[in-house]
Amino acid sequence: MHLDTGNTGFMLLCCSLVMLMTPGLAFFYGGLVGRKNVLAIMIQSFVSMGWTTMLWWACGFSMCFSGDAKSGSDVAGIIGNLDWAFLRGITLDMPSPINDSIPMLVFCAYQMMFAIITPALITGAFANRVTFKAYMLFLTAWLLFVYFPFVHMVWGGGLLAQWGVLDFAGGIVVHNIAGIAALASVLYVGRRKIADRGPHSIPLVALGTGLLWFGWYGFNAGSEFRVDSVTAVAFLNTDLAASFAAIAWLAMDWMTTKKPKFLGLLTGAVAGLATITPAAGYVSPAGACGIGLIAGFVCFYAVAWKNRMRLDDALDVWGVHGVGGFIGVLLCGVFATKAFNPAGVDGLLEGNTHFFLVQCAAVLLSSVWAFAFTLGMLWAIDQITPVKVDEATEGMGLDSGLHGEQAYLEEAI
């Protein structure tokens, strides 16, 4: 391996940025719930930083990246083998599979940060309703049966990679499967019995959004795995899409409620960030502006539809991440252009219908898989331990009821 210190240093920085996104998510979700449930939602993000890391070391990295469909060394193109379990055989001078000037250890750490945040995204859907024991079982099973297989299928040389699916930084692998799992969770767990008074702190939501937006540059630009002009395009596209989506959502909110809502601006930014993720390094800046606008409008209406249907997706995970990830994968199939990434492909606008259809098929498969497996997992966990908290605990608030802690002293409320 010929180590490139510039690329390696950049990837370590991006790794740190993606790590920061999980605390950012905790603040984002923490601000959106009521005062009695702040710690319960935040610990679900923070515990993933510990437990997912342990799983990643033990088997996750190996299940995602060892073996491939082309050589038949994985399991049916769906999941890798266990050759690298406990990082066995990963040496100091072993190069990463995507860029041989970066150590495998850096690649392992970077991908681990994606594994940490993805299941944490789902937690906003079932806020205030799920026991911590059930969540820990869910976190483990969801990584093993949904996240790890899709990382392997898309990024680890598995089935979807063989189809020619492109997902620059996690439209399918992160946002779509997490958002669809959120929808399945909402349908299984049901509505809250106690109405939540949140959001209790929009400034906390703003802090979380700022950390997520900042970290997303590492999420998207880092997914080029080197410093070149495509890295710059992915960086710029990330900001453009977030900005256009934020303003589009703000405008829709303003027209609907007759007031410009800060929360709408913040939610729109996250929707834009989620939607540009699969396409960030494959489209032009003009394409990113279009994707951001579409994200703002479509995700806004998805959330409005969810509210009309009275689905209790507490923090709009399906409407923002599920729908955003879904349309982002499709829009990558529309707007992709080799003019801005010679290593990519041309999309539908350049006359490549086949690539667009491949993207459609892949995101439909991921949606069905994530939905079915999540429902099955929740049912199985319910046979072991109750998934839903009892009404007394829900009324008391999960902070006190489950964790014996409070975010705010009673006299300060």
Q: What percent of the chain has pLDDT over 70?
A: 99
User: With contact defined as beta carbons under 8 Å apart, do 298 and 157 qualify?
Assistant: no
Residue at token pair 């939610």: 267
pLDDT higher than 60, residue 73? yes
- Alpha-carbon gap, residue 156 to 97, rounded angstroms: 9
Q: Give 224-229's long-range contacts (Cβ < 8 A, gap of 24+).
A: 224/281, 225/7, 225/11, 225/96, 225/98, 225/99, 225/102, 225/107, 226/4, 226/7, 226/10, 226/99, 226/101, 226/102, 227/6, 227/7, 227/10
Residue at token pair 């997520």: 212
98-108 pLDDT, tens per residue? 999 999 999 99
Which residues make Cβ contacts (< 8 Å) with residue 307, sequence separation at least 6?
Answer: none
The per-residue pLDDT for 5 is 97
Residue at token pair 């990295």: 61
- Alpha-carbon gap, residue 151 to 98, rounded angstroms: 14
Within 177-284, residue ranges assigned H as helices are 177-189, 202-221, 229-257, 262-276
Selection from 410, 411, 378, 407 nearest residue 33 by Cα: 407
* pLDDT averaged over every residue in the chain: 96
- Alpha-carbon gap, residue 85 to 66, rounded angstroms: 9
114-139 pLDDT, tens per residue? 999 999 999 999 999 999 999 999 99
pLDDT higher than 70, residue 372? yes
Query: Which of the two residues, 72 and 197, has the higher pLDDT score?
Result: 72
Kindly indicate the confidence band of residue 196, based on its pLDDT and cuts at 50, 70 and 90: confident
Query: Which of the two residues, 381 and 409, has the higher pLDDT score?
Result: 381
Kindly indicate the confidence band of residue 1, based on its pLDDT and cuts at 50, 70 and 90: confident
What mean pLDDT do residues 347-356 have? Answer: 97
Q: Give 369-373's long-range contacts (Cβ < 8 A, gap of 24+).
A: 369/146, 369/149, 369/150, 369/177, 370/146, 370/176, 370/177, 370/178, 370/180, 370/181, 370/184, 371/180, 371/181, 371/183, 371/184, 372/184, 373/142, 373/145, 373/146, 373/181
The per-residue pLDDT for 154 is 98
User: With contact defined as beta carbons under 8 Å apart, do 57 and 86 qualify?
Assistant: yes
Cα atoms in the Cβ-side hemisphere of radius 13 Å centred on 411: 0
pLDDT higher than 80, residue 215? yes
Single pTM value for the model: 0.97
User: With contact defined as beta carbons under 8 Å apart, do 302 and 319 qualify?
Assistant: yes
What mean pLDDT do residues 199-226 have? Answer: 98
Which residues make Cβ contacts (< 8 Å) with residue 51, sequence separation at least 6?
Answer: 136, 139, 140
What mean pLDDT do residues 298-318 have? Answer: 95
- Alpha-carbon gap, residue 224 to 89, rounded angstroms: 25
Selection from 137, 38, 26 nearest residue 400 by Cα: 38
4-60 pLDDT, tens per residue? 999 999 999 999 999 999 999 999 999 999 999 999 999 999 999 999 999 999 999
Tokens of 171: 């439209």
What mean pLDDT do residues 355-376 have? Answer: 98
Tokens of 216: 């997303």
- Alpha-carbon gap, residue 9 to 311, rounded angstroms: 45
List of domains in the chain: 5-396 (1.10.3430.10)
Residue 258: left (phi > 0), alpha (psi -120 to 50), or beta?
left
- Alpha-carbon gap, residue 242 to 295, rounded angstroms: 9
- Whether omega before 199 lies within 30 degrees of 0, making that bond cis, reads yes
Measured from the Cβ of residue 256, the count of other Cβ atoms closer than 10 Å reads: 12
- Per-residue b/e over 205-234, b at no fewer than 16 CB within 10 Å? bbbbbebbbebbbbbbbbbbbbbeebbebb
Q: How far is CA 17 from CA 81, 195, 211, 245, in A?
A: 29, 35, 9, 22
The per-residue pLDDT for 411 is 55
Q: How far is CA 182 from CA 50, 229, 257, in A?
A: 22, 36, 27
- Alpha-carbon gap, residue 398 to 376, rounded angstroms: 25
User: With contact defined as beta carbons under 8 Å apart, do 325 and 366 qualify?
Assistant: no
pLDDT higher than 90, residue 410? no
The per-residue pLDDT for 53 is 98
- Alpha-carbon gap, residue 411 to 112, rounded angstroms: 41
Which value, in Å, is the radius of gyration of the alpha carbons in the chain?
Answer: 20
What mean pLDDT do residues 249-258 have? Answer: 97
